[in-house]
Every structure is written in structure tokens, then in C-alpha cells.
Structure 1
Amino acid sequence: MTRRGPVSAWWLAGIAAAWPLAASADPLTEADCVAPLSTDTAALCMSAEYTRLDAELERAQAAAVAAMADPDGCGGACDAAAAALADAHAAWQRFRARDCDAIFALAIGGSGRNDARLTCLIDHTRLRIGQLQQLRAL
């Protein structure tokens, strides 16, 4: 499932503004992100973390769906379980996008509103990865 929820125009504008910094600078190292020296570096580190987590989320979703392909693992309800999981994941992606859009909107006028949105996206994504891992353990 690679479909994403609606992307805020403000978020895209923030990424576009940071893009020249990312393209012209040396690649970020883990040390750069431990204690970033600038807000631009912090934003790039958060964006990289979100990208990494979003890829991990897609792997966790695929693993949960794959676990449902084993008829012994879901007692004959595999198709229904896989369909419900796909619907739930799509709804969750919409929820994550809208919830973090609300955080962004509430931080209007603040210099940290992009960071607030990225923090929201990161936190929700981490929680969802944990939920999918727990689901696989059932």
C-alpha cells in the first residue's frame, strides 16, 4: 500500500524551500542529527527520519498482509482479515494526514510549525508500526 493521504501545500512548500540546502550540502550524518546546529539541519533530519519510518511502515504493512496469506494463521478468515487490514490502513493514513494537518494549522504564525507537523507524522508512524507488529504476533 503506497497510497498516501492528502499532502499539505504548506508542507510541500517547506520541503521545496529546504531542497536547495539538501542538494548543495554534504549528506547528513547521524552525528549531524544528534544535536543539529541549525533549524535547517534539524528540519532535514526530521524529514529524513520520517522518510525512513514511512518506508518501515510500508514494510510492516506488507509483512502483516503476508502473514494473513497463511491459511493456518488466520483460521480460514484470511481474505476477510486482509481486506479489513487494507481498509483500516488506508483510513489510518487519511487520519494521520488530517491529524497532522490540524497540528500544522494550530501552529499558525509559529516558526516551528513544520517541525510540529513532522513530529506528528513521525509519532503517528511509529505507533502504527508497533500496531502492525502486534497484529502479526496474534
Structure 2
Amino acid sequence: MLMNRRALKRFHMPNSQYPLPMMKKVTMMTTSKGKKNVMMMMTTTKKKTKRNQNIMRKEMKMILKYKRNQKIMTKMTMVKTSTMMTMIKRRSHIAMKKRAMKTRKIYPRQAQLTQHRPRKYVGRLGFPRIV
């Protein structure tokens, strides 16, 4: 398999209703610091149908977004689109789950207040009970 997991982790893709068929070329390259970069390149479409043009536009937007975010560089390799899409989708799904876990408050308000001290020493009004 061409793309390793770490590279895919950094590569988030919005879940589209259909996999973008034109995004066939994926590049992997190592930067000077040893980090892996992932990049998608457009391949031109055969027909200039409305749908294809829309897809192209979508791809351009995405590529620009990644370029801004991750300073992605060149060097070409091919990957089968469908497998890549599933991999990316799975990754992004896990990432979204993690993000949700982070933002969700684990403790209810009351528990948060008394969290840092054992409950048995707390009196009715929140003052320490004399033991």
C-alpha cells in the first residue's frame, strides 16, 4: 500500500456523497523534517459535462485548501481512487469521533465542582465539614 497511516491522519477529507473520480494521482513525499505529505492531483476529464465540471471545481477548491493548510509539495504516484477514498473516509471518521470526544463535557456540573476533593468532606453548603 502506498500511503501509510500517519500520512493519512493528517489528511482530512469531507465526506462527499460520491468519491471524486478525477482525483487519481496522489503524491507522497518526505519533507526535510521527515514528515510525510499527501497531495492529490487532478486528472483531466474526457467530457465537459456539467457534473464533471462541478467535480473539477470541487477538486480545485480542495487542493487549494490543502496547499494552504499543509504546504504540500510535488512528486507523483498513482493509487486506485476507490481504495484511497475508503481509507481517507475511515480516517476522517475516526478523527471526527475523537474531536467529538474532546469537546463533549464528561462530567455534569455538580461533579465538576466537587471533582478535585473527596465528597465526604464537603458539607451541605459546600463548606468543609468538621470531622
Q: Normalising by the residue count of structure 1, what TM-score does the alignment of the two structures yield?
A: 0.28
Which of the pair has more CA radius of gyration?
2
Greater RCO (CA < 8 Å, at least 6 residues apart): 1
Give the structure with the larger helix fraction: 1
Q: Normalising by the residue count of structure 2, what TM-score does the alignment of the two structures yield?
A: 0.29
